Amino acid sequence: MKGAGIKTNEELVGNALALFLWAVNEVKKGRAVASVDEAKGTKKCGCLPWNMSLILHLGAA
């Protein structure tokens, strides 16, 4: 938590929830949630169980 500048568990959970809700909304829009390495020009798609369930539920797959 120190490396991210997070001081409390409450702050950690709040940030994690915000990131999760953002990711869910992006998947609902048909977008991929990914990590991009601009220096190498590579992308890595985030495929998590909730992500795949949501994609299948929405019929986006």
Amino acid 61: pLDDT: 44
For the segment 10-22, what is each residue's pLDDT rounded down to a tens digit?
Answer: 999 999 989 888 8
Nearest to 25 by CA among 61, 45, 54: 54
Classify 41 in phi/psi space as left (phi over 0), alpha (psi -120 to 50) or beta: left
The per-residue pLDDT string of the chain (61 residues; one tens digit each, 9 = 90 and over) reads: 778 889 999 999 999 989 888 888 888 888 888 889 999 999 988 766 666 676 667 665 4
What percentage of the chain exceeds 90 in pLDDT? 28
Do residues 53 and 42 make contact, with C-beta atoms less than 8 angstroms apart? no
